[in-house]
Structure formats: structure tokens, C-alpha cells
Amino acid sequence: MNVIREGLKDKGMVFNRLVSYGEETSYGVAPSDVARWIGGVTSFNGGVETALEEAVTLSGGRLRGYVLHGLDVRPSLEYYIQTGQFLKYALGSVSDSGTGPPYIHTIEISSGYDLPSISLLEHRIGNPSHGYLYTGAKVESLEVSWEEDSLLKASVELLASNVDKVNTLPAVTP
């Protein structure tokens, strides 16, 4: 990972988040492998907020209370695009061709407009290491930008069904 970090630092880019993912075969169920590298993530926000609503109480006074509905989980990230593989989660499908560079990624909009779901794992490296696993995540919006003499950058906002703290982190290789 340090080799990648140093290579991107030479281009004037710094990233300090390690985020990996895995494609879910069943919505909301984490796959056994969530070690696929997204790219050089420059920012990540878990977006976890309580979903609540203000309600009038039946006490006869003007007191108000809150009804808690659960969690609203909306992770978002910005990263430098290294491959077209992750873009399929915003558009629907991708196919690869070619046996060597340059590879060709054909990205298509899925026929039923039903996007595949993924599990995102935000790695928190430290002592002890842990992470947060976002399951049932689907892309809500994607913005791709490019500036002259720079790399392609993506901003992604997702909706997830759940988030859990995990204590075991997989080894991620680009």
C-alpha cells in the first residue's frame, strides 16, 4: 500500500483512507470477500444519522417528543478512478475485453434499472485495528470529474441498509 501511496504522492495526490468492497449476491448480506480495492480514496464519510421525527405527546401539555425510526445510513466517498469496475455499481454492468493493456471496459446501463448492491468496508488502521461494514449499499449519485494534467476523480453517494463495527480486516491489494 505504501508503494501506491508514494506513487500517487508524486502526482500531487494524497489519500488517507482505505476502503474496500465486495459485491453482494443477496441484498444486505455481506459477501465473504470484501477485499476489492476501490482506488485512492481521498475522503470518506459514513453518513450515519438517527432517523427520527418530532411528535406531540399525549400529556395534555405542549410537550413534544421524538419517535425514533432507526438509522439513516448514507456513506459517501471521493476517490481517484483506477479501473472502471466500481463504476458498474452506478450504471448497472461492465464487461472487460483484452488480455493486456490497454484493457477495454464497456459500461452499460442495466436493463431493469436495478443496480447491484455492495458491501463497503471502511478500514480504521490502528491499535487495535477495526472497521465499519456498510451492507446493502446502492449508489444514489455519481459525479466524475477531470482536470487537464490530472487523473479522473469520482464522488459517490450511496444508501446502505445497515452498518456494523468489525474487528477483523481483510488484506487489500490493488
Does pLDDT of 9 surpass 90? no
Q: What is the dihedral of CA 161, 165, 171, 174, to 10 degrees?
A: 40
For the domain 2-166, what is the CATH code?
A: 2.30.110
Cell of 86: 466500481
pLDDT (tens digit, 9 = 90+) per residue, 67-122? 887 778 999 999 998 877 888 888 877 777 777 767 776 777 777 777 889 999 99
- Residue 100 bridge partners (DSSP): none
DSSP symbol at 32? S
Dist. CA 67–CA 52, nearest whole Å: 5
Dist. CA 153–CA 113, nearest whole Å: 24
- Kindly provide the b/e burial profile for residues 14-28, where b requires at least 16 CB atoms within 10 angstroms of the residue's own CB: ebebbbbbbebeeee
Q: Which pLDDT value is given to residue 15?
A: 52
Q: Please tell me the pTM assigned to this model.
A: 0.76
Does pLDDT of 14 surpass 60? no
Does pLDDT of 4 surpass 70? no
